[in-house]
Chain A
Amino acid sequence: MSTKLKNVVLIQGVFRPDVFPLLKKLKKDVVVLEGRPSLQAARENCSRLQKMGLMPTLMADNMAGYLFSKGIVKEVWIASQTIDKEGAMCEIGALIIAVLAKKHHIPVFTHCAGKKIKPLSNPKAIQKFNGQSVITGKVKAFVPLLEWVPAKYISKGGTS
């Protein structure tokens, strides 16, 4: 059960398949953030972890802070689209995790997925969840899919 979580690697974004054997070697609990609006991170990461024989724990994107406040996050892994010495272009939500990690003195590692992601989604994307309607009608929404994480939030040598 979830309350048994003690040493957590928190992963955010959709990772390349070759990253998961590295996660397994850590022998830690892996917590996956769901990755609104598409939920692709939840689906793909959980599926790959299951194939590695690992039991993932899923949390909503707004729940990462709770894990940090409990002091159980030991590492953060973030999937990036591109990375350079100035920082990394990551899937939306990465900046939250990176700032939380900095505040709690937790290392942040980025893994370049190299995948092309468009910067913004259609506002309608957050009117649905898992294909089902959350709210109907015309909604004014801002749905960024990418964000910049400055290098100061990323640990040295923390890329692959």
Chain B
Amino acid sequence: MKESPLFWPAYLNSKVLFVLDETLVPQYLRYVKVKNVDDAVKVIRDMKTRAFGQFLVVLSTFLLELERHPQLNGEELQEKIGNIAHALNRSRPTFPFAEVTGGIVQWADQALKAGQDVRVVVLKKVHGYLQGIRYRRLERVAKIAATIKDGDSVLTHCNVSGELAMAAAMCQSQKKDVQFYCTETRPYFQGSKLTYWELRQMGADVTLVADNAIGTLMADRMVNKVIVGSDRNCANGDFANKIGTYQIAVLAKEFKISMYVLTQPSKRIASGADIPVEIRNEKELLEFNGKRFVAGKVHGLYPGFDVVPHSYVKKEIALNVH
């Protein structure tokens, strides 16, 4: 299967983690060099990577730090792993990094208690975990392709890290005639820069729309399905995703359009009310490329995410986490 660069946007090579700078795509495919946990936190906080890329960076940072410190003994490694987890967990509040880092801390604790080599155990388990995720994401690509039927017109928002584009390619090989619409996704334009680009790269028929055009698309029946990703999932099916997802969900329900969401099932949070939504710096909204577009005194409000109740979702396209 042809892969989008966004499907696996970070890799480790010679004690350096190379992270695709998604803010430069599609003009450039450049990788930021991450050499330690501080760099990793920065790359996440600065949104150089996002969505799945963030989890990949979080997991790979443990591998990176273990490689950088071959001299540490079991106890020292345990402490180091705890510190790495702590730093990564605080990088962006909406994301459940603790769910991943907590597992790694536990592996280190268990290995130490059992008298095993902490380094060997943690490296093996993290590598295994990453391989498992990769396989399950490829499985989910096939599930997305199965959800899309011949003749469908699919609206998507923001970017789902390669999976929709790869599903589009799969649909083509299955001779399905499918159209895609992607929203530009202010303020970082992930739709314009990433989704439009990667769908085109895969040969899909894709049309770019402004975020405010989704009402017309739905009222005029120009789309018949919505497929979006999710950044955080709750036990009751509620989810958080890129800002703009809630209004897409409400409009889809109003116009009887089915909404599908790619999920990573988790029972750690009961409902959407418990998800903290990150409010980002207003400067990121009020400026573009360092240039302000409204004069005078004005506040900006930039919530990074929407929380969407499960009642808006027709079906979850879930990552098999069992």
A residues within 8 Å of B by Cβ?
1-3, 5, 31, 33-37, 39, 42-43, 46-47, 50, 55-66, 68-69, 92-96, 99-100, 102-103, 123, 126-127, 129-130, 132, 134-136, 139-144, 147-148
Query: Are the C-beta atoms of B299 and A65 separated by less than 8 Å?
Result: no
The number of chain B residues with a CB under 8 A from chain A is 59
Contacts of A61 in B (CB 8 A): 186, 210-212
Q: 9 shortest A-B CB distances, which residue pairs?
A: A62-B244, A95-B215, A93-B212, A65-B247, A2-B301, A65-B246, A62-B211, A60-B186, A61-B212
Partner of B207, one of A59, A127, A142: A142
CA distance A135 to B215 in the complex (A): 24
Kindly state whether residue B295 has any CB partner on chain A within 8 Å. yes
A140 touching B293, Cβ below 8 Å: no
Q: Which residues of B contact A37 (CB under 8 A)?
A: 210
Point out residues on B near A: beta carbons under 8 Å. 26-27, 157, 181, 183-187, 189, 192-193, 196-197, 205-217, 219, 222, 243-248, 250-251, 254, 277, 279, 282, 285-286, 288-289, 291, 293-303, 306-307
Note all chain B residues with C-beta closer than 8 A to A141: 207-209
Cβ of B293 and Cβ of A130 under 8 Å apart? Answer: yes
Name the B residues within 8 Å of A55 (CB-CB): 297-299
Partner of A132 from the list B196, B214, B285, B288 (CB cut-off 8 Å) is B288
Looking at the assembled complex, report how far the CB atom of A36 sits from the nearest CB atom of chain B, in whole angstroms: 4
Asked if B251 and A99 sit within 8 Å, CB to CB, the answer is: yes
Complex contact A35–B298 (CB within 8 A): no
> Knowing A3-B279, A96-B247 touch, does A132 contact B291 (C-beta < 8 A)?
yes
**B295/A92 in contact, CB under 8 A:** no
B93 shortest CB reach to chain A, Å:
14
- Please tell me if the beta carbons of B26 and A36 are within 8 angstroms of each other in the complex: no
Whether B247 pairs with A42 at a CB distance below 8 angstroms is: no
Give 20 pairs: A residue, B residue, CB < 8 Å, sorted on A.
A36-B184, A46-B294, A46-B298, A47-B296, A55-B297, A57-B300, A57-B301, A58-B294, A59-B302, A62-B211, A63-B244, A64-B247, A69-B246, A92-B212, A93-B212, A99-B254, A132-B289, A141-B207, A142-B217, A147-B215
Q: A46-B294, A61-B211 are in contact. Are A56 and B279 (CB under 8 A)?
A: no
Name 9 extra pairs, CB < 8 A, besides A46-B298, A58-B294, A63-B301: A42-B294, A69-B307, A95-B216, A95-B219, A96-B212, A96-B215, A132-B289, A142-B209, A147-B216
